[in-house]
Structure 1
Amino acid sequence: MTSEQLPFRDPRREDGERVADLLGRLTPEERLSMLHQFAPAVERLGVSAFRTGQEALHGVAWMGPATVFPQAVGLGATWDEELLRKIGEAVGREVRSMRTRDPRVGLNVWSPTVNLLRHPLWGRNEEGYAEDPRLTAALATGYTRGLRGDHPTRWRTAPILKHWLAHNHETDRDTASTSVPPRVLHEYELPAFRGPVRAGAVAGVMPAYNLVNGRPNHLSPLLETELRRWTELPLVVCSDAGAPTNIAGSEEYHPDHASGLGAALRAGVDSFTDHGEDGGPTLERLREALERGLIGQEHIDAAALRLLGMRLRLGEFDPDGGPFSDPADHAFDTPEHRALALRAAEAAIVLLRNEPPAADGAEGAPLLPLPAGSRIAVVGLLADECKLDWYSGALLRRSTPLDGLREHPDIASVTYAEGTDRVRLRCADGWLTVPDDPAGETPDGDEGTDAADEGALDPALLRGRTDLPPLTVGPRDKAEELHPVDWGGGVLTLRAGSGTAGRYLSVADDGMVRASARQPGGWVVQETFTAEAIAGGAPGDGSTLTGLREDGPVLLRHRGTGRPLVAAPEGLRVAGEGEEPTAFTVEVVARGADEVAAAAAGADAVIVVAGNDPHINGRETEDRLTLALPEQQDALWRAARAANPRTVLVLSSSYPYAVTEAAGELPALLWTAHGGQAAGTALARALCGDVSPAGRLPQTWYASDTDLPDPLDYDVIGSRLTYLYHPGEPLFPFGHGLSYTSFEHRDPRPAPITGGDGEVLRVEVTVVNTGDRAGEEVVQLYTRALSSPGGGETVPARPLRALAAHRRLRLEAGESRRIALEAPVEEVLGVWDPASGRRRVPGGRYALEVGASSRDIRASVEVEVAGEPARPRTIAARGLAAADADVLDGVELVDRDRESGDAATPRDPATPARLLYRACDLGAAGGPAVTVTVTAAAEGRPGRMELRCPGAEAVEIPVPAGTDRYDHRRFTAGLPLPGGMGATVDLEVILHGPVRFAALECGDGSGGEAATG
């Protein structure tokens, strides 16, 4: 029997039978080899090599030219899951098409990212969809359905959700632990994953680098207790790159790599992404774990079976390769894909503000849309940029704001001013010069304009060219005019003005500085520098300057290596160890703000395009430090505004900014994420009124850094973060976005709600376009808890309001439409009940609010819900897990042991931490006291616990220092109860010192030590 005739090749058999047959034919060593990212071929069975992992966040990434759609946060701003389904389908078709030309293109796509945009300083903000879990889940479901395809059993691609779990920071991302209380976990973090998983379009997840409650995500027990219980599909878990090594490496969580990888396999990780294409170290570690009894063959088999099942669903083992191997299903850079990229870029544009210019008075017309025949000034650091990010594909075509407005037929003329200063740098030996490129190449044109141009490069890939001459020192008449940009925090890029045709200064592996990069980029960005003041003749006083100034000598430090620059005889380079850096003085040839003001003065309107470079100051591995717009860009809009009140600020960025003054002074503001290949055309069409902006903010824009908690504070309830809990006045609220027309929401009518299992909340509402032009509205339905029945039940910290459903729809001028918005009652009204360990719907009155944003409610109706009453915690029967507190004050959740379970400890051991458990049934039958046993540990030094029921005397429990943090012991004490309260009481637990409190039981336990004091 040939391999083609084996049962696993027979499409007439059930998939489960086929995968089991293939697994049974593999040797134990072959099964083990399946577990590395680069699984080798099994030639005797005709099984090909397979690689997990193909980045496809907003187009196919890292594999050369592809259609580039807007960043994920921009797709989130569309609030349109059907549009995302179409984009996912286009990306999936391009994956299949590209794979026919390049077998390195993988069908297991690591996308989308469903981590919530909880904190706007997260460096990877651009990768998520929204701060709201229901909106994120809806959009991820749309995108994964497109990637998966609509065949009942075969998949176009196999999407993997990133990053499990509570991953929203880059600082110390592989060693920092995030404390996630149960309510935050179940009401906020998990729903973003659960929605698309239950929809059946997800092949698996990728754990995040960080730890949650003290335990690495790659060892998360929630992979089995939550994720794999949401679906019957055998979900695959793919590790993040290098994370398996981190377990015993940077995290020091296990003593050796065999223990670490064995623990990951037991926890449910199937595919290990480590050591690049070399599976040797990973397989050796797993073999050792097997030999030591840390894992069994059954763990290897279970992982291999899930991986092979995914490959079968992709059609790999079908004789014809499955329906998606048919070239008729493939598509690449088609007119349809180009139109879809433009539609997505248009749909993502958010009109934040649109008022009459001050000179026109309050009765004038809003500044936008621009009238036909306008003379426009387009200015700013991003005015002629089409920025890519780390997960972009290479551009086949590009459109900048300047391009889009120059090409628009309604614009009479366009004046352009970038707004960078022009400076020369001088040192003791002369002036910095940039020699010409001996090859005569110019990087200013397109990065490819034809789909057949296989050589088209991502601009970020052309750098580090050692064939170019480095910068040198020469006479003044040869001095190069450099264009410095301060991206914030003193982080500079320097672009050559002429020399090597406008390229960025970059440091190559040989340490020399050349004008060699078309754009900043790369895993380690080699194009960023800081300027540091020199004081008293010393090499540097460590103070970082904003921009390059003429007020004294500076040294330039390369951020990629951390070393200062030296003007050596062989050319400009980074300094060697202990080498004296070169001092430079700055001569400003021209001021960018003056250039902007001159361009603005003679225009009918000014478009200032500001924002970020996605490779600088906020990216993977690097969080932002502030919400503020960089000083250099802030100065440019002010210069434009001073010269011309008809100024529009366009923020093209991966994240929100606190532009409070601009929002108060300028008549019009827009935001768009970096919009991919059609960004400029889309912006021009929106500014000129070809389309009415209809994007909506997927996250809150806060007014100030002071509105934000520490980035590692993941308790959105306690820290009052996101629109769900933030009580302050945002700069722009979640869901905000204006239009060139107007809409009304009339006559909301809900169906009756009981709160029963499986019930669906349904609200009908009439939406009317009351303006004089067509437009799109995003109708948003929110729920808000008003009271409990009779005011008796208290459910703490309910959201101010929570998104239940939404609908994006287009209406012609004067058109009205009756629509229904639906959502599962348990998901939108339910709360996680720590007492019962499940969601329940509290009874009471609720407002169902229909509006244009979370702070712009247009219509509301109240409903009464019977719901489910709260029940006492039956501690006498079930015990009490420490993490299941109703209130955690000053508490950090940590790991009870290395496998599962949480414990509670003070966030600061010098400050007591408080936990409150409401309505506890201690089984005391009204007696004066009850015997309780606590399970606790103390690491390094002793601590103590206090237990009390309000109104009764506290009992103190000393906790002696143990051998390590997992040395939990049981301590028994008599807990006084308040007189006359009966058996149901509130219980407070106060932790002092390095106590790790794990659990409490009623009764003397078994072998518990008697507490004293």
Structure 2
Amino acid sequence: MTAPTPPPTPPFRDPHLPFAKRIDDLMSRLTLDEKTGFLHQFTPAVERLGIAAFRTGQEALHGVAWMGPATVFPQAVGLGATWNDDLVRRIGEAVSKEARAMRARDDRVGLNVWSPTVNLLRHPLWGRNEEGYSEDPRLTSAIATAYTRGLRGDHPTYWRTAPVLKHWLAHNNETDRDTTSSSVRPRVLNEYDLRAFRATVEAGAVAGVMPAYNLVNGRPNHVSPYLREHLRTWTDEDLLVCSDAGAPSNLVDSEHYFDTHEEATAAALRAGVDSFTDHGTDSSKITARVRGALDRGLLTEADLDAAVRRQLSVRFRLGEFDPEHDPYADTADFDTPEHRALAREAAEQAVVLLRNDGVLPLAPGARVAVVGLLADECKLDWYSGTLIHRSTPLEGLYERFGAEQVRFAEGVDRVLLKTGTGTFLHVPPADDDAPGEARGAEGALDPALLAGRTDLPPLTTDTAGTELALVDWGEDVLTLRAPDGRYLSVAEDGYVRASADQPGGWVVQETFRLEPHGNGHLLRHLGTGRPVRVAADGVKVAASDDEDPEVFELVVTERGEDAVTRAAAGADVVVVVAGNDPHINGRETQDRTTLRLPDHQGRLLRAARAANPHTVLALVSAYPYAVDTETLPAVLWTAHGGQAAGTALARVLAGDVSPAGRLPQTWYASDADLPGLLDYDVIGGRQTYLYFEGTPLFPFGHGLSYASFAYADLAARVGQEAVRVSFTVTNTGDVTADEVAQLYARAEDPSVPRPRRELLAHRRLTLAPGERAEVDFELPLSDFAFWDVAHGRWRLEPGPYALLAGASSEDVRLSTTITLDGEPAAPRPVGEHGLDAAAFDEQSGTEIVDRAKTAGDAVTPAAGRTGELLYRGCDFGPGVTWVSVEVAGEGTVEVSVDGGATAVLSTRTPTPGPYAYTTLTAGFTAEGVRDVRVRLRGALRLAHIGFSG
């Protein structure tokens, strides 16, 4: 009997065919319902074709997150502080290997990784400062490119993981993040916000982007035309656009940009969103909206096909359909000695020495007091994995100097909370083997699973009470910790328990506030917003505002400053470890309100300094602070450094490693130096090191060393397409150390406001004593161009440019001037094309809004008041006699030329809606090249100004 002939292999399974042909074949086999199912984050399997389920999205910002134990590297801002592209590439490689190894054990681990974050650190009060690399677009793109190359892998066909950049676009505020609009004029858009994304995408290791929650120029990022007009023009690869969680529903529910979810879903899909992250694992709502949009004619099947193709392109590149050819299929590298060493190397390279009067490095055998709220902490953030290994500053110093040489004082206030009946809050003992106990690798408590436990007994009251550690994190936010180290937390049942290893969670349940009330204080739980009360069955939060809260008397049994004073008095050197908890105050969903160090930590620092003048401040934080450093002999900063943070800090303090981290953003001296959080105009607002004209506390690129370095031999050669720059760096110190050589440029005679100096290139070097290295950069001439708003394109302006080489943006060691040929300025041909309202040179009192829901910009007075626009160098030719304005709304437009005609055009009745434009015309006489000024009054939108003869 002849064996049956096996069915032919379908073309989409043929590894010898190009991906595009294979996708064509697979698309032809999918039904409309199956394609609709592909549009949700959780794509179901197509069993009849043997296609597995797929999930977009795996957080991997500085290690694989949310999936249990993994190697935890320094926060992204710490990786930015390394200024080391090669190191970051190796970290990306390690993270992607761990993702592959973890997926082999757990198919919930995804290979479409939502990392890195490319948002620029424009404003240091942004709650998510920890997630970005730098305030500078070139440094950001260099680090992001390195990370994505590591994540992608180096195989020419298959990718180890598929990185998605976050968060497109101009997103630097958490306050009202889903309803606020960033007003971004064309120069800022092209020279600043788009630049970091563009360079990273053009480098070729990016699988896609994720739009941000906010609006840009009045239009939600999830329906942004920039996805089509910019992003997808930068590469020939299919880019997958994944929505942020819940953002598709925001288009209707909070932003009210569309009336129905069918309209919103259709608009997002047509704009370029390919995967909808909404309603968790429930895809039914999104698929129903897509079907509704199809039924209403808002979408075509071709629209769906475009999105599904881009998703399939990523899946093919990940080797899903070719497991036998996937070079990464058997990757098993997880928590290897190499990964542990890399985590320590990264933590060491991220340490920035801000100030040093010679107290560092610490002398061998020094008696060290390590004090402060973070002295014995290894903090995680929202995007961390679970620690397999941990190292706190105290543990690192014990390891390096010996426990007998190190004194410790946390510096918390020890308190009892006394009730109105004379009893005290009491923490019952916890059974460590209680059911529901969650432990990670090596027995470490898993904080993600500890919080919210209900199997532990709630707090009660008794006559003795339990002494609690009270930590004030600033802004009246505090945590309370039991003697066994567990934080007081509130579970869904409302009871207060000592049940959390650390504060954490999307809504933090471990934070409280003491509010003066009568002769005592209310203890308000911030997660629920309700005060704590004592009930017969335990301590709980009030179920409603009508319940009587407990009024507590705060009994302080020991002040933190006293403990710090005792520890500091007998030491040779005091190390005060201060900073933030990444789950408290500044974090996702919450911006900071000040640069100041929390008062409690300030008191500890002053106590240590008063007890011992040899006091070193080590700031461990996700963002900059404004601290009085003049009285301190040494100051260091590092981001939360992951699993090796403490060991790395101790090795730097001891001089085993010379610090060479550099600041990736400006440290301002006070809150008064900051722009408004929603002022996205870095040019007009003179923001970041590029434009800031004040005196920073520490400048961009700053960082000291235990060695010294000499710069010499600066040479520059201008070619047809690039500038070749070289100089030498020599280690003139007596220890091997790294130096970060930085090259900046400045246009010397610009026709428009240009940066004071702008980073063009950098290189981190390791040099032995006396060793000399030549640094060589080849810079495309396009690096010196700016966005010419008069003509809507990049232009290289002819003239002199200063080249500045040195150790920071302010520590310039060498300079020279080159002269570049370019394209001379040309006036705006307004007689022919008129003026697009948003293409102004200067403005005051205005903001850019959406001209229509699908595309285009308009300008409106901020808050409906009065605003002014200036357009320079407008060429009216032999003359015009009429001016017209395209406006919507109600108000007045006054158009004038310097020293010439003025026309006032008014809409006396409002147009039917914000996108219902009308054209107003008036007599207007102008000739030659003149500056045009426009004054706007009222609630109107100006889209265009035209001139005619």
Whether these two folds match at TM > 0.5 is yes
Of residues 751, 762, 768, the one that matches 2:730 is 768
SS in 2 for 1:664: coil
Query: Which residue in 2 is equivalent to 1:858?
Result: 813
Query: Which residue in 1 is equivalent to 2:741?
Result: 779
Write the distance in 1 (CA, Å) between the matches of 2:541 and 2:255.
Answer: 32
User: 1:683 and 2:649 equivalent?
Assistant: yes
Post-superposition offset of 1:994? 1.1
Of residues 344, 347, 350, the one that matches 2:346 is 344
Q: Is contact 2:416–2:467 with CA below 8 Å preserved after alignment?
A: yes
**Structure 2 portions without partners, runs of 5+:** none
Of residues 875, 881, 897, the one that matches 2:836 is 881
Write the distance in 2 (CA, Å) between the matches of 1:699 and 1:446.
Answer: 39
Is the deviation greater in 413-422 or in 2-11? 2-11
Post-superposition offset of 1:744? 1.3
Write the distance in 1 (CA, Å) between the matches of 2:203 and 2:656.
Answer: 36
Post-superposition offset of 1:760? 2.4
Query: Which residue in 2 is equivalent to 1:706?
Result: 672
Of residues 455, 459, 479, the one that matches 1:467 is 455
Query: Which residue in 1 is equivalent to 2:612?
Result: 644
Write the distance in 2 (CA, Å) between the matches of 1:468 and 1:374.
Answer: 44
Post-superposition offset of 1:410? 7.1
Post-superposition offset of 1:430? 3.2
Write the distance in 2 (CA, Å) between the matches of 1:842 and 1:412.
Answer: 64
Residues 226-249 of structure 1 deviation map (CA, whole Å, 9 limit, x = unaligned): 000000001010000000001011
Of residues 48, 60, 63, the one that matches 2:64 is 60
Write the distance in 2 (CA, Å) between the matches of 1:485 and 1:870.
Answer: 59
Write the distance in 2 (CA, Å) between the matches of 1:554 and 1:277.
Answer: 43
Post-superposition offset of 1:867? 1.5
Write the distance in 2 (CA, Å) between the matches of 1:146 and 1:667.
Answer: 39
> Could you say if the C-alpha distance between residues 566 and 53 of structure 1 is closer, same or farther in structure 2, counting changes exceeding 3 Å?
same
Query: Which residue in 2 is equivalent to 1:34?
Result: 38
**Partner AA of 1:157 in structure 2:** T
Q: Is contact 2:700–2:808 with CA below 8 Å preserved after alignment?
A: yes
> Could you say if the C-alpha distance between residues 79 and 265 of structure 1 is closer, same or farther in structure 2, counting changes exceeding 3 Å?
same
Write the distance in 2 (CA, Å) between the matches of 1:457 and 1:60.
Answer: 18
Post-superposition offset of 1:494? 0.6
Post-superposition offset of 1:619? 0.4
Of residues 935, 940, 944, the one that matches 1:995 is 940
SS in 2 for 1:16: helix
Post-superposition offset of 1:427? 1.1
Of residues 928, 953, 962, the one that matches 2:911 is 962
TM-score normalised to structure 1 length = 0.91
User: 1:596 and 2:564 equivalent?
Assistant: yes
Q: Give matches, 1:579-590, under 5 Å.
A: 579-590=547-558
SS in 2 for 1:771: coil
Query: Which residue in 2 is equivalent to 1:370?
Result: 362
Post-superposition offset of 1:411? 7.7
Write the distance in 2 (CA, Å) between the matches of 1:103 and 1:86.
Answer: 25
Of residues 644, 661, 672, the one that matches 2:638 is 672
Of residues 586, 606, 630, the one that matches 1:618 is 586
Query: Which residue in 2 is equivalent to 1:180?
Result: 184
Query: Which residue in 2 is equivalent to 1:510?
Result: 493
Q: Is contact 2:828–2:874 with CA below 8 Å preserved after alignment?
A: yes
Write the distance in 1 (CA, Å) between the matches of 2:604 and 2:429.
Answer: 32
Post-superposition offset of 1:997? 0.3
Post-superposition offset of 1:908? 3.2
Query: Which residue in 1 is equivalent to 2:289?
Result: 285
Q: Give matches, 1:388-403, under 5 Å.
A: 388-403=380-395
Q: Is contact 1:887–1:916 with CA below 8 Å preserved after alignment?
A: yes
Of residues 516, 519, 537, the one that matches 2:502 is 519
Query: Which residue in 1 is equivalent to 2:531?
Result: 564
Q: Is contact 1:3–1:44 with CA below 8 Å preserved after alignment?
A: no
> Could you say if the C-alpha distance between residues 502 and 3 of structure 1 is closer, same or farther in structure 2, counting changes exceeding 3 Å?
farther
Query: Which residue in 1 is equivalent to 2:856?
Result: 901
Query: Which residue in 1 is equivalent to 2:899?
Result: 951
Q: Give matches, 1:12-91, under 5 Å.
A: 12-91=16-95
Write the distance in 2 (CA, Å) between the matches of 1:988 and 1:851.
Answer: 42
Post-superposition offset of 1:459? 2.4
Query: Which residue in 1 is equivalent to 2:513?
Result: 530
SS in 2 for 1:589: strand
Q: Is contact 2:887–2:944 with CA below 8 Å preserved after alignment?
A: yes
Write the distance in 2 (CA, Å) between the matches of 1:266 and 1:113.
Answer: 25
Q: Is contact 1:162–1:206 with CA below 8 Å preserved after alignment?
A: yes
User: 1:413 and 2:439 equivalent?
Assistant: no
Of residues 517, 532, 542, the one that matches 1:575 is 542
Write the distance in 2 (CA, Å) between the matches of 1:520 and 1:527.
Answer: 5
Q: Is contact 1:769–1:812 with CA below 8 Å preserved after alignment?
A: yes
**Partner AA of 1:820 in structure 2:** D
Query: Which residue in 1 is equivalent to 2:758?
Result: 802
User: 1:820 and 2:768 equivalent?
Assistant: no
Post-superposition offset of 1:446? 13
**Structure 1 portions without partners, runs of 5+:** 356-365, 538-551, 789-793, 1005-1013
> Could you say if the C-alpha distance between residues 441 and 699 of structure 1 is closer, same or farther in structure 2, counting changes exceeding 3 Å?
farther
Query: Which residue in 2 is equivalent to 1:256?
Result: 260
Q: Is contact 1:461–1:522 with CA below 8 Å preserved after alignment?
A: no
- Output the aligned Cα RMSD: 1.6
Query: Which residue in 2 is equivalent to 1:359?
Result: none
Write the distance in 2 (CA, Å) between the matches of 1:448 and 1:964.
Answer: 57
**Partner AA of 1:614 in structure 2:** P
Post-superposition offset of 1:396? 0.3
> Could you say if the C-alpha distance between residues 287 and 684 of structure 1 is closer, same or farther in structure 2, counting changes exceeding 3 Å?
same
Q: Is contact 1:373–1:411 with CA below 8 Å preserved after alignment?
A: no
Write the distance in 2 (CA, Å) between the matches of 1:321 and 1:293.
Answer: 42
Q: Give matches, 1:140-289, under 5 Å.
A: 140-289=144-293
Write the distance in 2 (CA, Å) between the matches of 1:469 and 1:914.
Answer: 64
Post-superposition offset of 1:502? 2.1
**Partner AA of 1:384 in structure 2:** D
Post-superposition offset of 1:321? 5.5
SS in 2 for 1:218: helix
Query: Which residue in 2 is equivalent to 1:972?
Result: 921
Post-superposition offset of 1:2? 6.7
Query: Which residue in 2 is equivalent to 1:491?
Result: 477
> Could you say if the C-alpha distance between residues 518 and 122 of structure 1 is closer, same or farther in structure 2, counting changes exceeding 3 Å?
same
Write the distance in 2 (CA, Å) between the matches of 1:97 and 1:958.
Answer: 66
Residues 871-908 of structure 1 deviation map (CA, whole Å, 9 limit, x = unaligned): 11112333321111111221100001110001001113
> Could you say if the C-alpha distance between residues 461 and 822 of structure 1 is closer, same or farther in structure 2, counting changes exceeding 3 Å?
farther
Write the distance in 2 (CA, Å) between the matches of 1:319 and 1:519.
Answer: 41
> Could you say if the C-alpha distance between residues 433 and 115 of structure 1 is closer, same or farther in structure 2, counting changes exceeding 3 Å?
same
Write the distance in 1 (CA, Å) between the matches of 2:6 and 2:382.
Answer: 45
User: 1:632 and 2:600 equivalent?
Assistant: yes
SS in 1 for 2:643: helix
Write the distance in 1 (CA, Å) between the matches of 2:58 and 2:288.
Answer: 25
> Could you say if the C-alpha distance between residues 102 and 440 of structure 1 is closer, same or farther in structure 2, counting changes exceeding 3 Å?
closer
Write the distance in 2 (CA, Å) between the matches of 1:641 and 1:459.
Answer: 34
SS in 1 for 2:503: coil
Of residues 363, 370, 376, the one that matches 1:384 is 376
**Partner AA of 1:944 in structure 2:** T
SS in 1 for 2:481: strand
Q: Is contact 1:393–1:458 with CA below 8 Å preserved after alignment?
A: no
**Partner AA of 2:78 in structure 1:** G
Post-superposition offset of 1:35? 0.8
> Could you say if the C-alpha distance between residues 737 and 496 of structure 1 is closer, same or farther in structure 2, counting changes exceeding 3 Å?
same
> Could you say if the C-alpha distance between residues 560 and 878 of structure 1 is closer, same or farther in structure 2, counting changes exceeding 3 Å?
same
Aligned length: 942
Write the distance in 1 (CA, Å) between the matches of 2:440 and 2:139.
Answer: 36
Post-superposition offset of 1:375? 0.8
Write the distance in 2 (CA, Å) between the matches of 1:821 and 1:934.
Answer: 48
Residues 422-465 of structure 1 deviation map (CA, whole Å, 9 limit, x = unaligned): 1111111233333433524599x997555xx7xx5542431121
Post-superposition offset of 1:580? 1.6
Q: Is contact 1:395–1:447 with CA below 8 Å preserved after alignment?
A: no
